[in-house]
Amino acid sequence: MKRFHLHVAVNNLEDSIRFYSALFHAAPSVQKDDYAKWMLEDPRINFAISQRGAEPGLDHLGIQVESEEELAQLQSQLQQADISMVTQTQTGCCYARSNKHWVTDPSGIAWESYHSLASIPTFHGEPEASTDAAIACCAPKSALAQPAPQACCTPGGSCC
């Protein structure tokens, strides 16, 4: 079963944890010095926040799956739609090791489809290095630089 994922960069992690814990009426399922995550069932979402120097607001969106088969299905959908994609295997991000496929929507928002394999002790799975605050928390730069597919709506177009 799939779970919607939303990651938000925040200015103050402690205040944000207090706010979202009250909003969701639940404590985070994962809490670190720079990151917190709620794995909610109603609504079924993986909601994460982090304070790592990025501009506050939406960091990235995603779809979390429970198996490699579901991940392969999402990858196939993206390939059939001729959407540029970056694939990462056994990558460390957000205190988890995962297999992922990254795409960028026409507005420049990073989307990941991923299957988490295990928890890891650090944000990126390696000794902490400086982060590039201009990109999504773990989105590869090449995924964010990909042009939108030709069939997408364009500014000033007549779609939607």
Per-residue pLDDT of 8-20, as tens digits, reads: 999 999 999 999 9
pLDDT in tens, 131-149: 444 345 677 665 554 444 4
d(CA 125, CA 86): 19
Check residue 127 and give its pLDDT: 58
User: CATH code for 3-145?
Assistant: 3.10.180.10
At which residue do the structure tokens 């056994």 appear? 90
Mean pLDDT of 19-35: 94
pLDDT for 57 beyond 60:
yes
Res 144: pLDDT: 52
What pLDDT is stored for residue 109 in this prediction?
87
- Contact status, residue 97 vs residue 37, Cβ threshold 8 Å: no
Which pLDDT score is estimated for 147?
42
Residue type, 62: G
CA distances from 118 to 92, 93, 95, 122, 142 (A): 9, 11, 9, 12, 25
At position 94, the amino acid (one-letter code) is: C
What's the rounded Cα separation, in Å, for the pair 101 and 138?
12
In this model, does residue 108 exceed pLDDT 90?
Answer: no
Which one-letter amino acid corresponds to residue 143? A
